[in-house]
């Protein structure tokens, strides 16, 4: 969950709308079994 929170923090620096979009996209990826993608972004930070 910490990785998702980090992505949300990054998105909020762009705009609230982008934050919601990115969060929804990551949630969709996680549901599709691609949660490792969000984890990769977390590690790249």
**pLDDT tens-digit series, residues 1-45:** 455 555 555 555 555 656 677 777 766 655 555 555 556 666 655
Give the per-residue pLDDT at 14: 52
Task: Quote the distance between the C-alpha of residue 14 and its chain's center.
Answer: 13
Give the per-residue pLDDT at 45: 52
Task: Quote the distance between the C-alpha of residue 40 and its chain's center.
Answer: 10
Report the number of distinct structural domains present in the chain.
1
Range of the domain at 28: 2-44
Give the per-residue pLDDT at 22: 72
With a CB cutoff of 8 Å and minimum separation 6, the contacts of 23 are 4, 7, 8, 11
With a CB cutoff of 8 Å and minimum separation 6, the contacts of 43 are none
């Amino acid at each position: 969950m910490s990785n998702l929170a980090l992505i949300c923090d990054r998105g909020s620096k762009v705009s609230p709308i982008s934050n919601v979009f990115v969060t929804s996209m990551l949630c969709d990826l996680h549901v599709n079994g691609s949660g490792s993608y969000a984890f990769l972004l977390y590690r790249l930070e």
